[in-house]
Chains A and B, each alone.
Chain A
């Protein structure tokens, strides 16, 4: 199993550009999430999905879109990149949504917006 994979690993954008961060998992997990990691702030939830076709907003959803057409894939779209979106982005998945579930994280995408 590859686990959770993310592409690209690094990306530099100019303000106003759009792009899609890819995330895929091969563990047949129903639950998937996107987080951003900023210095001194830990991880913050952007969007999450509890199954194909179902998504919801997390703590910091503004400027991001998601969709979940298959169980495996959960792409994150930046509509019009801003310098405030410079961050490291992590995708995570879990088998269930219970409070004791372990989350499995991808290796992250480091995004810089100029």
Chain B
């Protein structure tokens, strides 16, 4: 079956530091890949997505590139802010029937001033 593996958290960074959160996946076919973000006390919201190999998703300074050869979708941001503190979920959606989304376990990011 499908699976998503994320790096263990929590990740603690100082403001303006560079962020990488690793995500690798296992899937058959050609899944879409997503990053969702969950701010404290809220539901998940889409941060970015990519639907085919070599696509780059980007939003709010975050980027991730769909790498089929390494089955990865790592999230990066050049300069984090305190307001980026949240839990980040990598997810995939396979191509069979109704969108069956598989989520990773989430990585908590804490940014300190």
A residues lining the B interface (CB < 8 Å):
4, 31, 40-45, 48, 50, 56, 90, 92, 94, 96-108
Cβ of B106: which chain A residues have Cβ within 8 Å of it? Answer: 42
Q: How many A-B residue pairs have CB under 8 A?
A: 61
Cβ of A102: which chain B residues have Cβ within 8 Å of it? Answer: 34, 46, 49
Given known pairs A42-B89, A48-B98, the reply for A99 and B32 (CB within 8 Å) is: yes
B residues lining the A interface (CB < 8 Å):
4, 31-32, 34, 36, 41-46, 49, 51, 89, 93-95, 97-101, 103-106
CA distance A94 to B36 in the complex (A): 14
Given known pairs A42-B103, A100-B51, the reply for A90 and B44 (CB within 8 Å) is: yes
Given known pairs A99-B31, A99-B99, the reply for A105 and B94 (CB within 8 Å) is: no
